[in-house]
Amino acid sequence: MILPRGFPGVAFGEASDGDPRYDETVRRTMSEGLGIAAVWATIDQVHGADILVATDPGRLGEADGIASSAVDLPIAIATADCVPVVLRGDFTIAVAHAGWRGIASGVVEAAVRAVSETGDVVRSAVLGPHIGPCCYAVAPSVVDAIGGHGGTTTTGRLSADLSGAVHSRLPGIEISGVESCTMHDNRFFSYRRNGTGKRQVTVAWISQD
């Protein structure tokens, strides 16, 4: 697990942690290591822009993000190459699954809105491991769909800069990030690398103290 510096209450899973979505042992082990509740609020992700509010653990339904003001309630999303985005306000947190489709649909803005709707305001954000422009070769239409945030892969092809696109949707918010590319860094699951069905999770929570 990666615990981003200066951002307590967030953990980014790695492949070595396993995929806790369907493996209770993985989830329990991660929870014990983090000192958090072993039951989490989760969603069935569909590359859309819906954010659900969690007040209790369990599967909330189809969405691509979760917001919550509940203390000691871990909220989690799963990613392989998409960007895990965590937002923090004064008393509300949100997690969002942001691939190019979600970004184009407005999932990042929707997560910010979900925090605002609790009466809070987003103070900071942290982005977890995701596929970088070094590896994410795409068609020009994908770069267009995410606002022109393109790059060049290490082999000279047009690529998408998902991080740049997410940054542009969080104006005025302090953003930190874990600089790792899921495709060329074997510590992570990557659908693009080998078609795996496995995902690393991002889990966030509000501690009592």
Residue found under tokens 């970088």: 132
Out of 1, 38, 46, 134, name the contact with Zn ion by CB under 5 A.
134
Which residues 6+ apart lie within 8 Å of 159 measured at CB? 133, 134, 135, 136, 137, 138, 150, 151, 152, 153
105 vs 159 by CB, closer to Zn ion: 159
Binding positions for Zn ion, 178-207, rule CB under 5 A:
181, 183-184
Q: Is 132 in the site for Zn ion (CB under 5 A)?
A: yes
Q: Where does this chain touch Zn ion (CB under 5 A) — which range of 18-26, 62-70, 125-133, 140-148?
A: 125-133
How many amino acids of this chain bind Zn ion (CB under 5 A)?
Answer: 6
Q: At closest approach, how far in Å is the CB of 159 from Zn ion?
A: 9
Residue nearest to Zn ion (CB): 181
Q: At closest approach, how far in Å is the CB of 39 from Zn ion?
A: 34
The DSSP output letter for 181 is B
Residue 155, token pair as written in the block: 């082999």
φ/ψ of residue 150, rounded to 5: -115, 170
Q: Is 30 in the site for Zn ion (CB under 5 A)?
A: no
51 vs 131 by CB, closer to Zn ion: 131
Q: 125 vs 20, 35, 51, 80, CA distance in Å?
A: 24, 22, 16, 19
Q: Is 80 in the site for Zn ion (CB under 5 A)?
A: no
Q: In this structure, are residues 127 and 163 in contact, taking their beta carbons and an 8 Å threshold?
A: yes
Out of 54, 93, 114, 135, name the contact with Zn ion by CB under 5 A.
135
Q: In this structure, are residues 1 and 14 in contact, taking their beta carbons and an 8 Å threshold?
A: yes
65 vs 129 by CB, closer to Zn ion: 129
- Residue 63: how many other CB atoms lie within 10 Å: 22
Best CA proximity match to 59, nearest among 22, 28, 93: 22
Q: Where does this chain touch Zn ion (CB under 5 A) — which range of 4-12, 17-25, 114-122, 177-185?
A: 177-185
Q: Is 101 in the site for Zn ion (CB under 5 A)?
A: no
Q: What is the binding site for Zn ion (CB under 5 A)?
A: 132, 134-135, 181, 183-184
